[in-house]
Amino acid sequence: MPQSEATGQPGQEAYSYAYGQAPGGYDTYDTSSGTYGSYPGGGTSDYGQSGAPAQPQPPEPAMPGMGGSMVSADRIVYFDFDSANIRSDSQAIIESNANYLRGNPRIITQLEGHTDERGSREYNIALGERRANAVRQVMSAMGVSPQQIRVVSYGEERPAANGFDEQSYALNRRVEIVY
């Protein structure tokens, strides 16, 4: 699989990007070091954890994610086609998660940007990143420490729905907030 070219811009935070499937996980690119690596698959991550175990969350209604995994419905922010603008119906979801993170400063969250399959792979990775960064920006404005937030873009690589209709596309245009 060819490796994508991704670079950080001066004055911006460094990010790790997932850009393709690898055995047991995903290929990644780290903008701070310019290195390629891998990230284990499986939905949740301890990437960037401070060593403290995450505090348990109460059970939430769940939605099917990639590969049959379940993602809590109150941790998914949906987007309009070709947009990274936060919709008004997502504000409460972001605020609820920001409140949790402010009250638990040792918890690290990963914001995973996703797109539908329309558009080139490179464009979708960039769009997924813009979406995750939009959620990060709102959370930061709500008082969440930047050290608690990691951003990754999967583009179209991890669909929540596999259909070729607008309903499936709408489910795939999202940011998942993962603890």
Q: Which of 150, 137, 160, 161 is nearest to 84 (CA)?
A: 137
DSSP 105: T
Asked if 4 and 30 count as a contact pair (C-beta separation under 8 A), the reply is no
Band of pLDDT at residue 1, cut at 50, 70 and 90: very low
Structural domains in the chain, sorted by start: 62-178 (3.30.1330.60)
The pLDDT, as a whole number, for residue 32 is 55
Q: What is the pLDDT of residues 42-66, one digit of tens each?
A: 443 333 334 444 444 433 444 444 4
Q: The pTM is what?
A: 0.64
- pLDDT reading at 153 higher than 70: yes
Distance CA 145, CA 123 (A): 29
E strands, 10-162, in order:
16-22, 25-30, 35-40, 62-64, 70-72, 76-78, 109-114, 149-155
The reported pLDDT for the residue numbered 72 is 83
Cα–Cα–Cα angle for 32, 129, 52, nearest 5°? 65
Rounded to 10 degrees, the C-alpha dihedral 43/41/84/2 comes to: -170
Question: 9 forms bridges with which residues in the sheet?
Answer: none
Query: How many Cβ atoms sit within 10 Å of the Cβ of residue 72?
Result: 20
More confident residue, 143 or 21: 143
